[in-house]
Amino acid sequence: MPTIRQKIIDLLEEDAHDARDLSQTLRVPEKEIYTHLAHVAKSMNAKKKKLEILPFSCFSCGFEFTDRRRFTRPGRCPKCRDTRVEYPLYRIR
């Protein structure tokens, strides 16, 4: 029986997903997905692969969070201060 992290790896190797999709597919809380993603990133480094975070962006002004390295969604946009920030996508390459 594969673990949650193994299931996350399998899903992310197939296609890009956001934390909400992973949470619904695996039936675990979204906050738990973020902690698993940190461990998945470390294990991918050992396998010579990389967990990519496709940039977050603001729905209002289009600002992209290109330098952000955290897995969680930002609270608001630093440019326009709007709280409508889209969920990031994760994938393994």
- pTM listed for this prediction: 0.83
pLDDT tens-place string over residues 64-87? 988 888 888 888 899 999 998 888
Residue 69 is predicted with a pLDDT of 80
Angstrom distance (rounded) from CA 78 to CA 50 = 27
**Residue 10: pLDDT band by 50, 70, 90 thresholds?**
very high
Question: Count of CB atoms within 10 A of residue 54's CB?
Answer: 12
Task: Give the residue-averaged pLDDT of 53-63.
Answer: 89
Range of the domain at 70: 4-92
Both tokens of 54, joined, read: 């496709």
Q: How far is CA 19 from the centre of its chain?
A: 5
Tell me the CATH number at 78: 1.10.10.10
Q: How far is CA 55 from the centre of its chain?
A: 10
Task: Give the residue-averaged pLDDT of 21-44.
Answer: 94
3-state secondary structure of 20: helix
Task: Give the residue-averaged pLDDT of 11-23.
Answer: 94
Residue 87: which of 41, 10, 11, 21 has the closest Cα? 21
